[in-house]
């Protein structure tokens, strides 16, 4: 699972709807500076399968020949 770190103030503008919708779990760490850690929730993890299928479909039907997906771990 990938963890993305944002400053507290930046995260308030970037991820509130995904967090409120249940896709992300938001953990706030008090400190100087404060930080917020987002991870996929159970619902967010369940959506990864659907996103992967959508990527496979688009690679087969929309992307040009020879396209290399930069997000694959094993190219």
- Per the domain annotation, does 27 fall within a domain? yes
Check if the beta carbon of residue 39 is closer than 8 Å to that of residue 26: no
pLDDT in tens, 27-51: 888 888 888 788 888 988 998 889 8
- Per the domain annotation, does 69 fall within a domain? no
What is the number of structural domains in the chain?
1
Q: How far apart are the first and last CA of the chain?
A: 19
Percent of the chain exceeding pLDDT 90 equals 5
Confidence of residue 63 (pLDDT cuts 50, 70, 90): confident
Q: Is pLDDT of 75 > 50? A: no
Domain that holds residue 42: 4-61
- Output the CA–CA distances (angstroms, integers) from residue 67 to 48, 49, 50, 74, in the order listed: 21, 21, 21, 14
Q: What is the pTM of this model?
A: 0.54
- Per the domain annotation, does 34 fall within a domain? yes
- Per the domain annotation, does 71 fall within a domain? no
- Over residues 50-54, the mean pLDDT reads 89
Domain of residue 13, CATH code: 1.10.10.10
pLDDT at residue 46, rounded to an integer: 92
- Per the domain annotation, does 16 fall within a domain? yes
- Per the domain annotation, does 49 fall within a domain? yes
The H or E element spanning position 44 is helix 42-61
């Amino acid at each position: 699972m990938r963890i993305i770190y944002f400053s507290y103030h930046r995260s308030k503008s970037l991820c509130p709807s995904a967090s409120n919708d249940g896709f992300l779990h938001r953990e706030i760490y008090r400190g100087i500076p404060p930080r917020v850690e987002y991870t996929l929730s159970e619902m967010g993890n369940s959506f990864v399968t659907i996103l992967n299928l959508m990527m496979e479909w688009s690679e087969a039907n929309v992307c040009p020949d020879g396209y290399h997906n930069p997000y694959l771990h094993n190219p």
